[in-house]
Structure 1
């Protein structure tokens, strides 16, 4: 549902000897294939066979990359100074899974990355097979394309993370945001806390993207992005209200009493309402992105809503922390590192709330690492 999904953490997966051998091999070979396809941006700019449109986007991306360093205090390293044409519509495909009566994602654990609520595949068929295996366990699953991911700086010695054909064509404001998001992961990553990591990086992309549009973008680019973002914000608000409705249902007296037929009826009503309200939203949209969320809505389930929450739930608190630190990026990163150093996710969220007065938007946090009855695994 987001323009870019959870980080694939290829560097961590390359170290993931605890995973099965086949998964380890596809992770290593998939990422190395991307690195082999990458060429320095100057080579592409000098290539007479490269299109003028691609060259313009690559030049824009290099401006964005320099801005990330000079204005957002993001790392100055080889990442996003090369480009790879992948000839597919995603860098990886992520699999997520959740119980029948919970939005809490199942976890997969790896060295370095810790436990994360998704499993990435460089081959769509392999991702779909994993999703089917999780469904066989009674879980709800989703497979979604990821146009970009971060290797957390682990691969900068080999040229870093390249720009990719899967996102280079995005509108200017969105291209800036995706670069800022992935570089933010190189500043800070907490093993095993997906919501903290993704909400922090999303806050950086939103704040940094707004600054880029204000200072660097043309009027046309700002107008284009305003249309793009308005639909996204409306959809996010709808998805958040649905997540909250589902949270209430899964924590209801009926769920606690094991009255699963009643819970199923309430769940169906919430999902029907979500799709009806989406149809109303969509009818008011215009332009080429009118149907951008159709597929997500048609397949929406606990896993899809759980994955979406990882990106959004702590964003308001991180944005408030940025304001508290005087909108100074080095001070902000230092404050985030202090909170990240706390020993567990609960203490990090409490520290964020104490520092900013902003509570997590998803009321279901206290269910994390637990499942409700019925279809839970």
Structure 2
């Protein structure tokens, strides 16, 4: 019996070693992410403790209390699931929390897909370690992909852990903060495996709608701050339509390329078109007050955005009209009923 058990143990050990070699990169990435998540978990404080701390600025406490209001509103008025999220606080000490890497085909708006066990495939990958981030970015670029690196303002662990309030959140204005919190709470309520675009578009739709309702609830629908927030939503709706139209134009150009089309011609047509999209973005009307300037508009100050920018933007915003139309026409703008429909129709993780 002992000999049999030893043989079984040896077979299992060899199998585990083989798996570790075969999936070395995935295991290494998982270790990095687990280490980053553990660091956050070990360096959080209960919100009640932070609010009682005389060394914490009153301005920070105001925003922390506001997050509590937003969360309660999202549960009571929107029907999002109750959770322990945003009941703790993590001080980033002025450092970035993590970064997101997006890759795209160089001549097609096709994202690089990253697989995460249990959760499915994603059109981006998050990194707590900047060195690993830059290595992964360099590898994708060497393989011929367009890439984009951006900071992450918040993320959801989908109920696996208690998501904290991050110190970087506190620099946001009320409307942007409400949108962010409700977006993340939506992920904790409904998240469909292998359908990242749907998940992010839904969370953005609920975030926009919920933040607008929260601002009306808190300040009144005739207040200047509410009207300004509405003007911001209108601006980003026009901007999204502009990016979607631009993406459709790019896609049409890319599909017209033939295997014999010279790379120089592809490059020239690609960047000329992207340049036109960027230039035309400056004509989008913005009725917000001067102190609420756009933060997500394509910029020409450094370099033109590549395909990874458009892929990333579409992942979050492409389906906004679909959700809005369905919500208004089929559910008469009754959000709790609409949310129940979504949860019944799309089984969540």
Quickly name the TM-score band, shorter chain normalised: 0.7 to 0.9
Alignment of 1:184-263 (within 5 A): 184-217=186-219, 219-223=223-227, 225-226=229-230, 228-229=232-233, 231-252=235-256, 255-256=257-258, 258-260=260-262, 261-263=264-266
Corresponding residue to 2:70 among 57, 64, 70:
64
Corresponding residue to 1:46 among 27, 49, 52:
52
The answer to whether the aligner puts 1:142 opposite 2:144 as a matched pair is no
Displacement after TM superposition at 1:18 (Å): 7.6
Residue 104 of structure 1 corresponds to 110
Residue 275 of structure 1 corresponds to 278
Asked if the contact 2:232–2:286 (Cα under 8 Å) also holds between the matched residues in 1, the reply is no
The answer to whether the aligner puts 1:319 opposite 2:324 as a matched pair is yes
Output the TM-score relative to the length of structure 2: 0.83
Alignment of 1:1-377 (within 5 A): 19-88=25-94, 90-155=96-161, 160-217=162-219, 219-223=223-227, 225-226=229-230, 228-229=232-233, 231-252=235-256, 255-256=257-258, 258-260=260-262, 261-279=264-282, 286-287=290-291, 289=293, 293=297, 294=299, 298-323=303-328, 324-341=330-347
Cα distance, 1:288–1:341 mapped onto 2, change above 3 Å: closer
Cα distance, 1:292–1:77 mapped onto 2, change above 3 Å: closer
Output the TM-score relative to the length of structure 1: 0.77
Structure 2 gap ranges (5+): 1-22
Once the two structures are superposed, what CA deviation does each residue of 1:169-217 show, in whole Å capped at 9, x if it has no partner?
Answer: 2110111111111111111111111111111111111111111112223
Cα distance, 1:283–1:181 mapped onto 2, change above 3 Å: closer
Larger Cα-atom Rg: 2
Structure 2 SS opposite 1:298? coil
Task: Supply the distance in 2 between the matched residues of 1:258 and 1:200 (Cα, whole angstroms).
Answer: 40
Cα distance, 1:334–1:279 mapped onto 2, change above 3 Å: closer
Displacement after TM superposition at 1:230 (Å): 5.3
How well do the aligned residues superpose, as a CA RMSD in angstroms?
2.7
Which structure ranks higher in relative contact order (CA pairs < 8 Å, sequence separation ≥ 6)? 1
Aligned residue pairs total 320
Cα distance, 1:213–1:267 mapped onto 2, change above 3 Å: same
Structure 1 gap ranges (5+): 1-16, 343-377
Task: Supply the distance in 1 between the matched residues of 2:286 and 2:160 (Cα, whole angstroms).
Answer: 45
Structure 2 SS opposite 1:143? strand
Displacement after TM superposition at 1:280 (Å): 5.2
Displacement after TM superposition at 1:234 (Å): 4.5
